[in-house]
Amino acid sequence: MAEPRRSRSFQAGAPIYGIGADGLAWRVERGSVRLDTAGTPGEACFASLAISGDIIGSEAMLFGAYAFSASSLTHCEISPWPEGAPANVVLPTRQDIADITALRLETVSRIIKGLERAGMLHPVRVAGVHATRSFAVNFRHLAA
């Protein structure tokens, strides 16, 4: 992920990232972003809308690539997420991740364990959160 960790600005209609590309997760600071899945060849299929405060692209932190394409609906500004280092991430349940990504539960578990072994994620304790869902993100490994 060679992308610099700085805020970015996009004009309405501009592409932000595409399905399968690697990159960072982002917080929408201003404006709105359209997220699409792959539809019929050559056509985008609406998946979601992100507005100020929403996080986009977090799947790239887990799977190494974006699962959606993102484009600006209005002039928008985005900034890298999570801010600061070290940052803690609380993941959805592995079953929810599997449902969202259309992957098998075993595949999701294997990916998360692989990220732990690679030193990208380190389990941490967060009060009130199940132990297998809280991680510290190692930004040095993500930037490599």
- Same domain? For 77 and 125 the reply is no
Q: Please determine, for residue 123, whether its predicted confidence score (pLDDT) is greater than 50.
A: yes
- Same domain? For 14 and 72 the reply is yes
- Same domain? For 12 and 77 the reply is yes
- Same domain? For 95 and 61 the reply is no
Q: Is residue 68 part of a domain?
A: yes
The helix (run of H) or strand (run of E) holding residue 71 is strand 69-72
Give the Cα separation of 117 and 125 in Å (integer): 18
Give the predicted TM-score (pTM) of the model. 0.59
Q: Please determine, for residue 40, whether its predicted confidence score (pLDDT) is greater than 80.
A: no
Range of the structural domain that residue 64 is part of: 8-81
Nearest by Cα to 50 from 30, 24, 79, 20: 30
CATH of the domain at 91: 1.10.10
- Same domain? For 70 and 96 the reply is no
Q: How confident is the model at residue 51 (pLDDT cuts 50, 70, 90)?
A: very high
- Same domain? For 71 and 124 the reply is no
Q: Is residue 17 part of a domain?
A: yes
CATH of the domain at 46: 2.60.120.10
Q: How confident is the model at residue 85 (pLDDT cuts 50, 70, 90)?
A: very low
Q: Is residue 2 part of a domain?
A: no
User: 106-143 burial, b if ≥16 CB within 10 A, otherwise e?
Assistant: eebeebbeebeeeebbeeeeeeeeeeebbbbbbbeebe
Give the Cα separation of 50 and 140 in Å (integer): 28
Q: Which pLDDT score is estimated for 86?
A: 47
- Same domain? For 68 and 21 the reply is yes
- Per the structure, the count of domains in the chain is 2
